Chain A
Amino acid sequence: MSSQAAPNDSQTHPWQDDIFNVLKKGGVKQVSYVPDAGHAHVIRRIHADPDMRGIVLTTEEEGVAIAAGAWLGGDRHALLMQSSGVGNCINMMSLLESCRFPFLTLVTMRGEYAEFNPWQVPMSQATQGVMELMGITVLRVSKPEEVEDVISAALDSVFEAGERVAILLSQSLIGRKKWVRN
Chain B
Amino acid sequence: MSNNQAFSGTIERRAFVKELISLCPEALVIGGLGSSTYDMFAAGDRDQNFYLWGAMGGAAAIGLGLALAQPNKSVVVITGDGEQLMGMGALATINAQQPKNLTIVVLDNGHFGETGMQHSHSSLGTDLTAVSKACGIAHSFKVKEASEVKTIQEHVLARAGVAFAQVYVKADDLPRALPSRNGVHIKNRFRQTLGLAPL
Interchain CB contact under 8 A, A69 and B187: no
Query: For residue B68, which residues in chain A have a CB less than 8 angstroms away from its CB?
Result: 29-30, 53, 55, 69-70, 73, 75
Tell which of B30, B54, B67 touches A94, judged by Cβ atoms closer than 8 Å.
Answer: B54
Interface residues in A14-61 by Cβ distance below 8 A to B read: 29-30, 53, 55-59, 61
Query: For residue A74, which residues in chain B have a CB less than 8 angstroms away from its CB?
Result: 69-70, 191, 194, 196
A53 to B73, CA, bound (A): 18
Tell which of B65, B67, B69, B97 touches A65, judged by Cβ atoms closer than 8 Å.
Answer: B65
Of listed A53, A70, A75, A102, residue having the most chain B CB within 10 A: A70
Query: For residue A66, which residues in chain B have a CB less than 8 angstroms away from its CB?
Result: 61-62, 64-65
Q: How large is the interface on A (under 10, 10 to 19, 20 to 34, 35 or more residues)?
A: 20 to 34
| Whole-angstrom distance between the Cβ of B188 and the nearest chain A Cβ | 9
Tell which of A29, A53, A72, A100 touches B66, judged by Cβ atoms closer than 8 Å.
Answer: A72
Interface residues in A69-99 by Cβ distance below 8 A to B read: 69-75, 77, 91-92, 94-95, 98-99
Query: For residue B61, which residues in chain A have a CB less than 8 angstroms away from its CB?
Result: 62-63, 65-66, 69
Tell which of A30, A61, A99, A102 touches B65, judged by Cβ atoms closer than 8 Å.
Answer: A30
Interchain CB contact under 8 A, A101 and B58: no
A71 to B199, CA, bound (A): 9
A98 to B183, CA, bound (A): 6
A98-B54 contact in complex given A57-B93, A62-B87, C-beta closer than 8 Å:
yes
Query: For residue A92, which residues in chain B have a CB less than 8 angstroms away from its CB?
Result: 55, 57-58
A69 to B76, CA, bound (A): 12
* Residues of chain B whose beta carbon lies under 8 Å from any beta carbon of chain A: 28, 30, 50, 52-59, 61-70, 73, 87, 89-90, 92-93, 96-97, 183-184, 186-187, 190-191, 194, 196, 199
* Residues of chain A whose beta carbon lies under 8 Å from any beta carbon of chain B: 29-30, 53, 55-59, 61-75, 77, 91-92, 94-95, 98-102, 162
Q: List 24 A-B contacts (CB under 8 A).
A: A55-B68, A56-B93, A62-B87, A62-B90, A65-B62, A65-B65, A66-B65, A68-B58, A68-B65, A69-B65, A69-B67, A70-B69, A71-B187, A72-B28, A73-B65, A73-B194, A74-B69, A74-B191, A75-B65, A75-B68, A91-B56, A100-B183, A101-B187, A162-B199
